[in-house]
Structure 1
Amino acid sequence: MSLKLTRIKSQDEAVQWIQQLAAWQSLYQDYLNERAHAKNYSGTLPAGISAQRTWWFTHDRLRKAYSSMNTALKRGHLFPIAPDVSRHDMLIEKAPIREMQIRAPMSSSNWT
């Protein structure tokens, strides 16, 4: 998903990318929420996990990557040359991306 960001050249492509991110999140939400529990864990704890922790997210790096893209999208930082793509022509709430309502932009005046 992140590599596709560099290839977006139109407002329609931006909308399509946002829809793909929402679909990806919906598909993999259970995977992102998987936890490892210390009482069931054998071996050395992963880097950054203290002995006092009782659980941690199994796929922490993937969660952070997704969260970073989602936050940048909500703040309007992913498509700065066309802010209407990420802010004005789409309803983006302070909620997980799967709960966002996405609608197509009205114009493409900001795209070259």
Structure 2
Amino acid sequence: MAGVATMSYYNKPRVTLPVTHSEKDDQWLSEQLLRLHPKHRTTACIGYSDAFREAFENEQVEHKKENAGRKAANTRMRKFVEKCLFDQSQKVANQAVAAYNQNEYKPQQNQTNFSIDSL
């Protein structure tokens, strides 16, 4: 698949990393990608690679190229992950409100008195 590479850390789940990235960001990228629903990971990887490559190529000073690419791509990834997680939490909240409004939510009467002993 274009735009992605596979990476695995010991017993952690396998995750597909962007092809164009700094090895210094492998662990952070894996953590961010694992936070996403699998259907969003390819989009995230392609966008990350594009942002990295563009910033890298646009930086005029040779020794600043990698840092420029990392900064642009990591910023894009962080914002993308935050947006996806926010959208997902909004969807879940809306479903809960809809279920409550349709009287599908019925709290159990016996669990109103909570105590540490009941654990």
Q: Please state which band the TM-score falls in when normalised by the shorter chain.
A: under 0.3
TM-score, normalised by the number of residues in structure 2: 0.25
Considering Cα pairs closer than 8 Å and 6+ residues apart, tell me whether 1 or 2 has the greater RCO. 1
Q: Give the structure with higher Rg (CA).
A: 2
Q: Name the structure with the higher helix share.
A: 2
